[in-house]
Structure 1
Amino acid sequence: MKNWTLAAATVLLAGLSSCNNNTPDKPADPVATLPAPQQMTYTLLNVYPHDTSSYTQGLQYLNGFLYEGTGNPGFGENISKLRKVEVTTGKSLQQIVLKGKLFGEGITVMNNKVFQITWQDKKAFVYNLADFKLTKEFTYNTDGWGLTNDGKYLIMSDGSDKIYFRDPETFQEITHISVQDNTGLRNNINELEYINGFIYANVYQTDEVLKIDPGNGHVVGKIDFSGLKNDYPELTQPPSDYFNGIAWDSTGNRIFVTGKNWSKLFEVRLN
């Protein structure tokens, strides 16, 4: 009986091997079939002062003002902030400080509330837009990097290839996407801005901004902002740090960009 079983198994394996030899090749990885993202360009419209003490983590334009969330690179006490900023002067018109050593990250304004996340503290804060009064706190289980919204959901990055869609009432995850282009998954997805149905994301430690389809995570466009530092070489010197901060003015069809501790804020138009 054992010999018969062994013989039958040998025949079966041989048959499977024969079938496998005739099996068509495995379909190509769908990522490899993605078209290369469009290389997008911009026109520089204006240059304004930016507070060099602001370690910019989040930026949003609303009703003629910028709202800026800053981080805490030295992990000192009471350094991370939420600020309302005058565009043309860089002057802080209103601000609050995150208590203790909390490391502030991305911000977004939705339904007259300002949402601000933190890096590894896993805390999110909700403030009244008018007076920055704290109204609610949430916790989450990832890092917090960038934050924006599409009018329905909060959209958050955590430094990986993933972008999360969260309920603004509960901060619970609804779904997520993985950012990928024709080369594969894209990591270090950082500061976010939702512009005309697409997510624009800065890639941390680079001057590159990706234009992402929120339905599938595919990168459809790229913008290289390294020309700003070529024209203003002081931005390559301390205390200036990495490019970070994207704010969209839908009425003016313009974007404001800056960097961590940069002395300049740039107003640009995408071509």
Structure 2
Amino acid sequence: MRVLTGLLAVAAVLAGCGAVPGQDAVLGAEAGTVERLGVEVLEVLAHDPAAFTQGLELADGVLYEGTGLVGRSSVRAGPPGGEPTVRVDLPPPLFGEGITVVGSSVWQLTWKAGIAIERDRATLAERRRATYRGEGWGLCHQPHRDRLVMSDGSARLTFRDPRTFAEVGAVTVASPDDGAGRERRGLNELECVGDTVYANVWQSDRILRIDPDRGAVTAEIDASGLLTPDERAEADVLNGIAAVPGTDQFLLTGKLWPSMFRVKLVPSG
């Protein structure tokens, strides 16, 4: 095992109001504490180094992964660290993005096409399509809230109906900076865990833990150092976080990474 220490996080959490359907929630300025965390590696698993990972989710022991790039986008399912048992490719010009499991379905985003694809969870066959405005990046599901959470690369999280994909609210994510709310842009691949959302920050090795009702960052996680320098030279950015159900552990990987890591979050300092 090895402990990877975190970056110094900004100390504070905002308090604000919940999301109102059709409009952004407004952030307050009540200060709290943003935890700074690192990751402890428990296991190293194989990962397809040709997979441009955009979405990652573990459900009932099956790892679902969405990949991107035009002509190379796919959604696949199989055992963690093993070869996919099911794979479906997206035809050009679609560029695959985030995915999430919802009951017997898997929702898959596309980057700029404004198309969300609902798939059969067992076969990954397309069931239907829904449209949305703007870009699609990350996606996760909060079943107890009966909503999807979606990112578009900005500081905004959009809430959507898991059946119709209609927008039902939104929030802007921020953490205080000298007493003012500092927006946290670049929110990418998402993972919902209870009332919490974890978000990869694009072009970084950071993951944010977010209270989506308030748009408040509650922890900043430094996941740097997972790859060796030689592996890093051939890989792209960290992007892929999947909670391991029933544990406090996560699977982490990235775009074109040769490995996936089972980790737990630990204090750093």
Q: What TM-score do the two structures reach when normalised by structure 1?
A: 0.83
When the two chains are superposed, the root-mean-square deviation of aligned CA atoms in Å is 1.4
- Name the structure 1 match of 2:246: 251
1:242 correspondence with 2:234: no
C-alpha separation between the residues in 1 aligned to 2:80 and 2:259?
A: 11
- Name the structure 2 match of 1:96: 88
- Name the structure 2 match of 1:196: 194
1:167 correspondence with 2:161: yes
Range with greater deviation from structure 2 (249-258 or 94-103): 249-258
- Name the structure 2 match of 1:48: 45
C-alpha separation between the residues in 1 aligned to 2:29 and 2:211?
A: 17
- Name the structure 2 match of 1:126: 118
- Kept in 1: contact 2:59–2:245 (CA 8 A): no
C-alpha separation between the residues in 2 aligned to 1:37 and 1:227?
A: 22
> Which runs of 5 or more structure 1 residues have no equivalent in the other structure?
1-29
C-alpha separation between the residues in 2 aligned to 1:137 and 1:241?
A: 30
Partner of 1:95, secondary structure, is strand
1:57 correspondence with 2:54: yes
Name the aligned partner's letter for residue 162 of structure 1. R
> Which runs of 5 or more structure 2 residues have no equivalent in the other structure?
1-26
Aligned partner of 2:216 among 218, 235, 255 = 218
1:182 correspondence with 2:176: yes
Partner of 1:265, secondary structure, is strand
Which protein shows a greater Rg?
1
C-alpha separation between the residues in 1 aligned to 2:171 and 2:47?
A: 33
- Kept in 2: contact 1:36–1:182 (CA 8 A): no
Matched ranges for 1:132-147 at <5 A: 132-147=124-139
User: Structure 1's 252 and 32: CA in aligned 2 closer, same or farther, altered over 3 A?
Assistant: closer
- Kept in 1: contact 2:58–2:245 (CA 8 A): no
Name the aligned partner's letter for residue 64 of structure 1. G
- Kept in 2: contact 1:31–1:181 (CA 8 A): no
- Name the structure 2 match of 1:24: none
Q: Percent identity?
A: 38
- Kept in 2: contact 1:36–1:181 (CA 8 A): no
1:153 correspondence with 2:144: no
Partner of 2:241, secondary structure, is strand
C-alpha separation between the residues in 1 aligned to 2:33 and 2:230?
A: 33
Partner of 2:225, secondary structure, is helix
Name the aligned partner's letter for residue 83 of structure 1. R
C-alpha separation between the residues in 2 aligned to 1:34 and 1:252?
A: 30
1:110 correspondence with 2:102: yes
- Kept in 2: contact 1:246–1:256 (CA 8 A): yes
Between Structure 1 and Structure 2, which shows a larger proportion of helix residues?
1
Kindly state the Cα deviation for residue 234 of structure 1 after the two structures are TM-superposed: 2.8
C-alpha separation between the residues in 2 aligned to 1:255 and 1:67?
A: 14
What's the CA shift string for 1:155-208, capped at 9, x where partnerless? 100011100000112111100010000120110110000113200001000000
Matched ranges for 1:77-92 at <5 A: 77=71, 79-89=72-82, 91-92=83-84
Q: What TM-score do the two structures reach when normalised by structure 2?
A: 0.84
Between Structure 1 and Structure 2, which shows a larger proportion of strand residues?
2
Kindly state the Cα deviation for residue 33 of structure 1 after the two structures are TM-superposed: 5.0
Name the aligned partner's letter for residue 252 of structure 2. V
Kindly state the Cα deviation for residue 93 of structure 1 after the two structures are TM-superposed: 1.2
